[in-house]
Amino acid sequence: MTLPVVPPLDRAAEPALRALIDAKAKPLGALGRIETLAIQLALIAGRPDPTADRAQLLVFAGDHGLTEAGVSSYPQAVTLAMVATLLAGKASANAFARAVGAKVMVVDAGVAADILSHPDLIEAKVRAGTRNGALEPALTLEEVRLALSRGAAIAAAAAEEADVLLLGEMGIGNSASAALILHRLGPAPLAECVGLGAGHDEAGLARKRAALDQAAARSSADQPMEVLAQFGGLEIAMMAGAVIGAAAARRPVVVDGFICGAAALAAIRLQPAVRDYCVFAHRSAERGHALMLQVLGAEPLLDLDLRLGEGTGGLLALPLLRAACALLSDLASLEDVLAGRL
The terminus-to-terminus CA distance of the chain in angstroms comes to 54
Is 310 part of the annotated catalytic residue set? yes
Q: Is 10 exposed, middle or buried (0-12, 13-18, 19+ CB in 10 A)?
A: exposed
Residue 165 is inside which H or E element, if any? strand 164-170
Specify the amino acid at residue 49.
Answer: D
| Residues 62 and 130: beta-carbon distance below 8 Å | yes
| Residues 116 and 219: beta-carbon distance below 8 Å | no
Q: Bridge-partner residues for 286, per DSSP?
A: none
Q: Catalytic residue among 143, 235, 286, 310, which?
A: 310
Tell me the three state secondary structure of residue 95.
helix
- Cα separation, 16 vs 91, whole angstroms: 43
Q: What is the DSSP string of 49-85?
A: S----SEEEEEEEE--GGGGGT--SS-THHHHHHHHH
- Cα separation, 258 vs 108, whole angstroms: 20
Write the CB contacts of 145 (distance below 8 Å, at least 6 apart in sequence): 1, 225
Specify the amino acid at residue 177.
Answer: S
Catalytic residues: 310
